[in-house]
Structure 1
Amino acid sequence: MLVKVKYWVIVCATFCISACQHEDQNTYGNTTSTVIDGKKIYRHSLDGKPTSLDPIKASTFYSNLLVVNIFDTLYSYEYLSRPYKLKPNLAQSMPEISTNGLVYTIKIKPGVQFHNHTAFTDGIGRELKAQDFIYSILRSFDPKNAATGAWLWQGKIAGLSEWKVLGADYDQPVAGLKALDDYTIQISLLKPYPQLIYSLAMGFSAITPREVVESLGAEFGSKPVGSGPFILDRFNSETAYLIRNENFRQEPLDIYAEGYNPTKHGSYGIETLQGKTPPFIDQLEVNFVDESSSRWQSFTKGNEIQYTTVPKDKQNTVLLSQDPIKLHPQIGDNYHHSYGMEAGFVYHGFDMTHPVFGNNGDPEHDVRSTALRCAIRKSHDWEQKNRAFYFGLGTVFPGIIPPSVPEFDPDMDTDSIQTDIEGAKKILANHQWTTNALPQFEYHVTGSVLHKQFFEQMRGFLNTIGYPNNRIEYHPYPSFGTFNKAIKNRQTPFFFLGWVLDYPDAENTLQLFYGPNQTPGSNNFNYNNPAYDALYEQSSVLQPSVERTALYQQMNQMVIDDCVVISGLARNKIHLWHKNVISFPDQAIVGGFHLRYVDVK
């Protein structure tokens, strides 16, 4: 997904020990039980808001976290296993795949009920059937829905494009999507698609009931009805309130099958969940707290939110040492914590359709615009950014294949992530980019104190290569939703984003640069390189192999050579949660799936 998935920033800054001694230790650890009148309540927090709770529009991390709790997907991920491993969710087992890799047959679990809604007979949720899956996939190809996840199956499932062209009639059959019976789905592909199963674990593929969607229309995005472990009770700009689905299928948790490791997970109380049936809590509150200081204050009060990441003005309180990572006792003793590299990265990108910064096919223009982008990239100081905003703990790497995927090349040349001021000035001079000729530079991002600091740093980088301040502009947006809309409308010549992987395969980042995925699809750069697209299409039908990895790395080098993106940094994240919470939080590939396994005491 774009998508899944997925844009967010871990709020951190430079490391310093000295202030640790001045914190009031009584501020931390005085947590209040959230078992109230026998009901278990867990209060989660996010640093942003969902743009929609309709699965076909679950293109951000925030939306997807809620979608996979309200709805069911055919597959999900083992709760604790790292590296990440797929498992059946609504499906009975992993799919049967034909020898040519083109036909997938999937049996779903019988007896699964949608949540109650007045659109159903007598208001009682009916049984979920194979045809509901087909309807849900078709919704992404209905032009009137403005869906954001069609890129996952576009040109891959037989008959979908024809169905769309012929009028998107849900009562007409589609060659590649069949319900063989009420509990058997058959998917036929135009060509092998090794990532298909991954796509069926994403919020975009979550299963929706047709009668409720048609009854609610556009309101379905704020009043969703699915078959997942939680039912949405109410939803506003600050909080989503969900209650336990009492009719959720009875499937006792086997922590060992989910990847439980006593050495890694033994201090979190997870062993007490063995054999119990999720979800374990009665009420789930997901709080949307944009400002990091407010989130920290709420977390440390002890009776409000129970999970957070670390805000930059509290890093002195949290970290005692960096190498190895060691938390200050008042944090480590009073809160649960986990630490690790994210499955994703942050980057700056150019819109390649921009009349100045992008390419237009004219050789002379394209040589100059590429030179300008490359010079800007050479001005960027990743080491300084890492120190200033990520505790110095981020992992800087070249290109678009992050360290979290098996195709990452640790020996790749690092020239694209090195600061080279003189080299940048030389490139500008050689291509007639004088001070007077430099174009207006617009820095587009969601508006916040943190992002203003990112801008100020970027402006400083540009100043070092001769970019005057009067040609550098800050373009903040009031919300991620409006920022994302501007990107999709090609109104952001230069932007700052983060990408969290939808699945553990470098294809998930490489598809961000595939020409046919241009906006409103996942290719926010609107990069269009026929040579790149040919390699992508060649690799897309291959199973994991040395051959496929070699193609991936060629594509990675193309994006680097074209200076499409300033990348990248994989954030090392510190999660904190109250000690009366039994959990192992994940903000990456498992994502919202982990919330069904949260318990409180």
Structure 2
Amino acid sequence: MIKGLLLILFSVSFLTCSLDSNKEAKKSIFHYNQPNPITSLDPAFAKTQNNYWACEHLYNQLLDLDDSLHIVPELAKYYTISEEGKLYTFILRNDVYFTGNKCFKDSLSRVVNASDVAFSFYRLLDTKLSAPGRWIFVDKIDSINGFKALNDTVFQLRLKRPFAPLLSLLTMHYCSIIPEEAIDYYKDKFRENPVGTGPFVLTNWVDRQGMFFRKNTNYFKNGKPHLDGIRISFIEDRNTAYLEFMKKRIDYFSGIHSSFAPQLINRFGMLRDDRVGMMNFMRGTYLNTEYIGINVNAVSTNHALRNKYIRQALNLAINKELMVQTFKYGIGKAANSGFIPPGLTSFDSVRFKGYSYDPDSARALLKLAGYSNLKKDEQQLVLYTNKDFIDLITFVARQWQEVGIDVKIELLETATLREKMRAAELPIFRASWIADYPDEESFLTVFYGPNSSPPNYTRFQNQQFDLFYEDAMKETDPELRKDLYQKMNKIIIDEAPVVFLLYDEVALFSQNNIHGIIPNAINLLKLEDVKKLIIE
């Protein structure tokens, strides 16, 4: 009798588990991998891709970017800017609720208001928090009335002086809106107990194994999200993650790696013929300029790098199209139009002709500069890089040697390389610059004289450039500001404080049943519009 009862109980239990498993299997759970573990879900610390992709699922900002990087309202319905460009007034939506959480006590949730915006922004400035996003407002905000809630739906931000790219800054995840109750309740544990307004809600975080989200059923954008949830794995080895994707256990991955890239795409950056129909492949503009920086202050007065013609020759001697095909599998474009990359309005490949491959002109400039007459130690270039880019930099060095330039490569650990760049100890080094926000200022600040490093790793100084930069920060007319940005870009092309290598691109792969992913130039994974078809 007892044995029979146990058998019945086991059968019922198994049937129940099977039904739950089938129910779970029919839910549309989007699964992707992060090779670098997520360290915090506090948006004030959303500095790296692994953190800000997760924060994208949980929070909203006053303003957002559409897929073409145009600024659009999000928590704000609309905004106005005063004529002098210092006072910004935002009118907030009154139908946005924070996700339900015990920090709100009996009410469980409440409507977002202007005081939440003021709190979130002042918190970012708090020196005790030491948030990496603090730079957004430091030395920009009026010290007395920087942030002010006039009532529940009107928020004002006042600047010390006009700063034209401000609206772009406000789209960053650092500027996500959070409730003060959550910080009071969770304190430093807020990083793992996020409370936001986003399309998804965290349900479980298993340390370095995975993270799980469910859809926010009270999301203020009607009908969204379409997914039932998100799962993030933390598989450190990219090859293992790639195999999981090929087995259809992962829905999506971004970027390519030399170990598996030839199995997916050809050298022209297109999906291989035998892979067409097996997966979705998308590529698009990415606001990332790869370059070799030159700090002339780190060499002697008569060194070759001090001569502008020699720096221009370095640019002309590289076959960048071949470099992109060989080392980036065609994902990217030769940087032939200055430092501002495609995807920003000031980029103009027709108007701005930078440096295309022309070894004969490179040799002519070296002769004009008297390179061969320099002493050996004044001729030699010591090019610093890390192991991740040794193949690409070896290619560059050989191209320079072909036109008669004496160059050798020095390998440094990544942390050491960055520290020496920061300390201005390296005369010539490989680097990249990825936009924090979609405005040309994010790139041109790299060369603004008063800036230290970062971002001005080359210690570039040019009075006319600095004047154009300062005028651009005050200019509220987009076309006039665009003209100033282009004038600055022209100065960088002519003075050549860097060797322009390539404009990077995003490469995205997803399973065939995933729809709605659209590449964007800041490589942000937006999932509120994504659908996953359930395959029976």
Instruction: Please indicate, yes or no, whether the TM-score normalized by the shorter chain is above 0.5.
Output: yes
Please give the alpha-carbon distance, in whole angstroms, between the structure 2 residues aligned to 1:313 and 1:346: 23
* Alpha-carbon offset, residue 489 of structure 1: 6.1
Tell me which amino acid in the other structure corresponds to 1:331. R
Q: Deviations over 1:248-292 (max 9, x none)?
A: 42422xxxxxxxxxxxxxxxxxxxxxxxx2223233133456655
Q: Which residue of 2 aligns with 1:391?
A: 329
Match 2:341 to one of 365, 385, 402: 402
Please give the alpha-carbon distance, in whole angstroms, between the structure 2 residues aligned to 1:370 and 1:76: 41
**Conserved 8 A contact 1:346-1:497:** yes
Q: Which residue of 2 aligns with 1:201?
A: 171
Q: Which runs of 5+ in 1 are unaligned?
A: 1-32, 160-173, 253-276, 358-362
Tell me which amino acid in the other structure corresponds to 1:345. N
Aligned counterparts, 1:202-601, within 5 A: 202-213=172-183, 220-221=190-191, 224-233=194-203, 241-246=211-216, 248-252=218-222, 277-287=223-233, 292-312=238-258, 314=260, 317-319=263-265, 322=268, 327-340=271-284, 342-350=285-293, 352=295, 355-356=298-299, 368=306, 373-374=311-312, 376-392=314-330, 394-396=332-334, 397-412=336-351, 414-420=353-359, 421-423=362-364, 425-426=366-367, 429-430=370-371, 433-437=374-378, 441-445=382-386, 448=388, 451-464=389-402, 465-469=404-408, 472-477=409-414, 494-500=429-435, 502-503=437-438, 505-520=439-454, 522-589=455-522, 591-592=524-525, 594-600=526-532, 601=534
Structure 1 vs Structure 2 CA RMSD: 3.9
**Conserved 8 A contact 1:53-1:66:** yes
Change (3 A) 1:485 1:112: farther
Please give the alpha-carbon distance, in whole angstroms, between the structure 1 residues aligned to 2:220 and 2:253: 27
Q: TM-score, normalised by structure 2?
A: 0.80
Partner-residue secondary structure (3-state), 1:251: coil
Please give the alpha-carbon distance, in whole angstroms, between the structure 2 residues aligned to 1:457 and 1:237: 41
**Conserved 8 A contact 1:67-1:203:** yes
Change (3 A) 1:517 1:70: farther
Please give the alpha-carbon distance, in whole angstroms, between the structure 2 residues aligned to 1:331 and 1:580: 15
Change (3 A) 1:540 1:110: same
* Alpha-carbon offset, residue 297 of structure 1: 1.8
Q: Which runs of 5+ in 2 are unaligned?
A: 1-20
Q: Which residue of 1 aligns with 2:126?
A: 142
Partner-residue secondary structure (3-state), 2:376: coil
Please give the alpha-carbon distance, in whole angstroms, between the structure 1 residues aligned to 2:407 and 2:265: 38
Tell me which amino acid in the other structure corresponds to 2:74. N
Please give the alpha-carbon distance, in whole angstroms, between the structure 2 residues aligned to 1:441 and 1:320: 33
Between the two proteins, what is the percent identity of the paired residues? Answer: 23
* Alpha-carbon offset, residue 539 of structure 1: 1.5
**Conserved 8 A contact 1:500-1:588:** no
Tell me which amino acid in the other structure corresponds to 1:535. F
Tell me which amino acid in the other structure corresponds to 1:244. R
**Conserved 8 A contact 1:375-1:428:** no
Change (3 A) 1:385 1:112: same
Q: TM-score, normalised by structure 1?
A: 0.72
Aligned counterparts, 1:1-20, within 5 A: none
Tell me which amino acid in the other structure corresponds to 2:346. E
* Alpha-carbon offset, residue 336 of structure 1: 2.3
**Conserved 8 A contact 1:356-1:439:** no
* Alpha-carbon offset, residue 373 of structure 1: 4.8
Change (3 A) 1:426 1:223: farther
User: Would you say 1:87 and 2:72 are equivalent positions?
Assistant: yes
Aligned counterparts, 1:47-86, within 5 A: 53-78=41-66, 83-86=68-71
Q: Which residue of 2 aligns with 1:44?
A: 32
Partner-residue secondary structure (3-state), 1:39: coil
* Alpha-carbon offset, residue 318 of structure 1: 3.9
* Alpha-carbon offset, residue 388 of structure 1: 0.8
Q: Which residue of 2 aligns with 1:109?
A: 93
**Conserved 8 A contact 2:183-2:190:** yes
Please give the alpha-carbon distance, in whole angstroms, between the structure 2 residues aligned to 1:545 and 1:251: 30
Q: Deviations over 1:21-58 (max 9, x none)?
A: xxxxxxxxxxxx99734433211245656665443343
Please give the alpha-carbon distance, in whole angstroms, between the structure 1 residues aligned to 2:364 and 2:207: 47
Q: Which residue of 2 aligns with 1:16?
A: none
Rg (Cα) greater in structure = 2
* Alpha-carbon offset, residue 526 of structure 1: 4.5
Number of residues of Structure 1 aligned to a counterpart in Structure 2: 508
Partner-residue secondary structure (3-state), 1:226: coil
**Conserved 8 A contact 1:69-1:230:** yes
Please give the alpha-carbon distance, in whole angstroms, between the structure 1 residues aligned to 2:509 and 2:521: 16
Tell me which amino acid in the other structure corresponds to 1:596. E
Q: Deviations over 1:370-406 (max 9, x none)?
A: 6665554444331231121233463222211223222
Change (3 A) 1:418 1:206: same
Please give the alpha-carbon distance, in whole angstroms, between the structure 1 residues aligned to 2:305 and 2:266: 49
Tell me which amino acid in the other structure corresponds to 1:142. D
Partner-residue secondary structure (3-state), 2:239: helix
Please give the alpha-carbon distance, in whole angstroms, between the structure 1 residues aligned to 2:132 and 2:299: 28
**Conserved 8 A contact 2:341-2:503:** yes
Q: Which residue of 1 aligns with 2:152?
A: 182
Partner-residue secondary structure (3-state), 2:141: coil
Tell me which amino acid in the other structure corresponds to 1:293. N
Please give the alpha-carbon distance, in whole angstroms, between the structure 1 residues aligned to 2:23 and 2:70: 33
Change (3 A) 1:284 1:208: same
**Conserved 8 A contact 1:237-1:288:** no
Q: Deviations over 1:521-560 (max 9, x none)?
A: x445444433322111112222455533332122112222
- Higher RCO, 1 vs 2 (CA within 8 Å, ≥6 residues apart): 1
